[in-house]
């Protein structure tokens, strides 16, 4: 199938000025965007491919350009999706709006994620040839990210095969980060981190101290939202082994597993999340002084919205059965001229949601199994 030629790479210069960011949420109307799409020289081959009756998607033809309501899109069957599953549909972006989208996908409140996570989040909604290179240039030129260091400079937990869990929040891992060098104005110096094995859903709660009573209350608040797990994995910190915590586990039928030097898989998952979250926090301290505890939920939003590389779905999709609506999705809706779909009755809604979750979790399990097999090869 024909594809559009790659446009010139974005210049390796500084990030857009703060003045340009004020226009990010409303960069253009639908009519303006459509006109730019049609006039952009770099998209002409894609337009020609879309208008020449593109073949249906199949195992041998996994992507194509299509025109819907006058706008150019790219449809793709991802590696883990069956042919009867909905393909990914991306809006093709003309050159004029690419830097604006890069800023929205990478800068605050997206947490200054690295190249891969920025590319994955952007790619859920948008496409252009050369996007990966443009994302890499943009992230590497970001002034906020430079003082933190490159990803390879950060200590990573060793990659170990993790047990495949089918039920969300059946097995979770918990850890504590800190103390950070400076307390926030609200006295926060630690972060309790939480990760679900099945969906990779994270939680992170700022703490003033790590005493068992504080940890107990924080976990109780989390489990009030997601339900009590069958197994919880922690390190051997005294706060996790205190009598208060033992009483909590026994009262709710939770099996407490403690990480040991001989079982690296018990804490590797949450430690890798800690590395990602810690880098985000350090970047925010650079950009927003020491108020990271006020924007921690925005960082979690950014993490939950991006597909996990081993699962093929975002944590949000695996927990709620739908894609999260964030800044990028709002811009896409504006450009596409979003019209709300008609409502459905509650029985159909629940039935459809359950079917979607079952299908998504089954595919996530298969994708994780395949990813682990590739690691062994």
Q: How does pLDDT run across 148-206, given as a tens digit for each residue?
A: 554 444 444 444 445 555 789 999 999 999 898 788 999 999 999 999 998 999 999 99
- Cβ–Cβ under 8 Å, residues 4 and 129: yes
Indicate whether 339 pLDDT > 70.
no
Q: Per-residue confidence at 275, pLDDT binned at 50, 70, 90?
A: confident
- Helices assigned H by DSSP within the chain: 18-21, 30-39, 44-51, 98-106, 115-123, 131-140, 212-226, 238-241, 243-251, 265-287, 296-305, 315-320, 327-336, 346-376
Do 229 and 266 belong together in one domain?
yes
**Residue 88: which pLDDT band, with cuts at 50, 70 and 90?**
confident
Distances (CA, A) of 3 to 42, 210, 291: 10, 54, 45
Least confident piece of the model among 133-137, 156-160, 360-364: 156-160
Q: At which residue do the structure tokens 């990760």 appear?
A: 195
Q: Is the torsion defined by CA of 16, 108, 364, 358 positive or negative?
A: negative
Last residue in a domain, options 305, 321, 341: 305
Sign of CA dihedral 343, 349, 355, 357: positive
Mark which of 148, 180, 210 sits at the end of a domain: 148
Judged against a pLDDT cut of 90, whether residue 60 lies above it is answered with no
Average pLDDT, the chain: 78
Q: Identify whether 166 is part of a domain.
A: no
Q: Is 196 inside any structural domain? A: yes
* Residue 330 confidence (pLDDT) above 80: yes
Assess whether 29 and 141 both reside in one domain: yes
180 shares its domain with 262: yes
Would you say residue 366 lies in a domain? no
Residue 58, both tokens: 């199949």
HSE (CB half, 13 Å, CA atoms) of 205?
20
Q: What is the tally of structural domains in the chain? A: 2
- pLDDT higher at 255 or 330: 255
Same structural domain, 183 and 134: no
With bands split at pLDDT 50, 70 and 90, how would you rate the model's confidence at 33?
Answer: very high
Residue numbers of the domain that contains 289:
171-305
Residues 35, 142 within the same domain: yes
Greater confidence, 50 or 373?
Answer: 50
Give pLDDT, residue 54: 77
Residue 310 in domain: no
Residue 258 sits in the same domain as residue 179: yes
**Which of 290, 305, 320 is at the close of a domain?**
305
Closest by CA to 195, choosing from 225, 227, 171, is 171
Please report, for the domain that includes residue 86, its CATH number. 1.10.340.70
User: Residues of 19-32 as b/e, b for ≥16 C-beta within 10 angstroms?
Assistant: eeeeeeeebbebee
Chain centroid to CA 288: 22
Query: Is the domain of 141 the same as that of 208?
Result: no
* pLDDT for the residue numbered 19: 39
Q: Phi/psi class of residue 120: alpha, beta or left (left: φ > 0; alpha: ψ in -120 to 50)? A: alpha
pLDDT tens per residue across span 96-122: 999 989 988 887 555 677 788 888 889
Whether residues 187 and 297 fall in one domain:
yes
Q: Are residues 27 and 103 in the same domain?
A: yes
Look-up: residue for tokens 């000025």? 17
Instruction: Report whether 377 contacts 371 (CB < 8 A).
Output: no
């Amino acid at each position: 199938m024909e594809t559009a030629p790659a446009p010139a790479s974005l210049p390796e210069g500084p990030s857009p000025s703060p003045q340009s960011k004020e226009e990010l949420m409303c960069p253009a109307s639908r009519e303006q965007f459509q006109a730019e799409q049609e006039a952009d020289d770099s998209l002409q081959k894609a337009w020609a491919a879309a208008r020449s009756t593109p073949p249906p998607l199949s195992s041998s033809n996994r992507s194509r350009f299509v025109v819907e309501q006058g706008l150019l899109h790219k449809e793709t069957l991802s590696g883990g999706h069956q042919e009867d599953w909905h393909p990914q549909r991306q809006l093709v972006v003309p050159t004029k709006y690419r830097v604006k989208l890069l800023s929205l996908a990478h800068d605050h409140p997206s947490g200054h994620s690295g190249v891969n996570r920025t590319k994955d989040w952007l790619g859920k909604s948008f496409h252009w040839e050369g996007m990966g290179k443009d994302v890499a240039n943009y992230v590497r030129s970001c002034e906020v990210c430079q003082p933190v260091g490159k990803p390879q400079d950060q200590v990573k937990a060793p990659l170990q095969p993790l047990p495949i869990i089918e039920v969300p929040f059946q097995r979770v891992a918990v850890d504590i980060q800190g103390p950070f060098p400076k307390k926030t104005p609200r006295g926060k110096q630690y972060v309790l981190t939480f990760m679900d094995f099945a969906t990779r859903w994270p939680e992170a709660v700022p703490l003033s101290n790590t005493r068992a009573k504080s940890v107990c209350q924080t976990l109780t608040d989390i489990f009030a939202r997601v339900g009590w797990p069958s197994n919880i994995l922690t390190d051997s910190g005294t706060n996790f082994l205190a009598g208060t915590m033992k009483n909590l586990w026994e009262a709710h039928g939770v099996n407490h597993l403690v990480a040991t030097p001989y079982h690296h898989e018990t804490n590797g998952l949450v430690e890798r999340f800690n590395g990602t979250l810690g880098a985000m926090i350090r970047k925010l301290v650079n950009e927003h002084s020491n108020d990271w505890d006020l924007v921690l939920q925005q960082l979690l939003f950014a993490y939950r919205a991006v597909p996990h590389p081993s699962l093929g779905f975002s944590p949000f999709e695996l927990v709620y059965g739908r894609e999260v609506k964030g800044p990028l999705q709002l811009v896409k809706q504006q450009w596409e001229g979003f019209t709300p779909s008609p409502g459905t009755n509650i029985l159909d809604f629940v039935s459809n949601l359950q079917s979607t979750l079952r299908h998504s979790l089954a595919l996530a399990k298969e994708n994780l199994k395949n990813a682990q097999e590739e690691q062994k090869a």
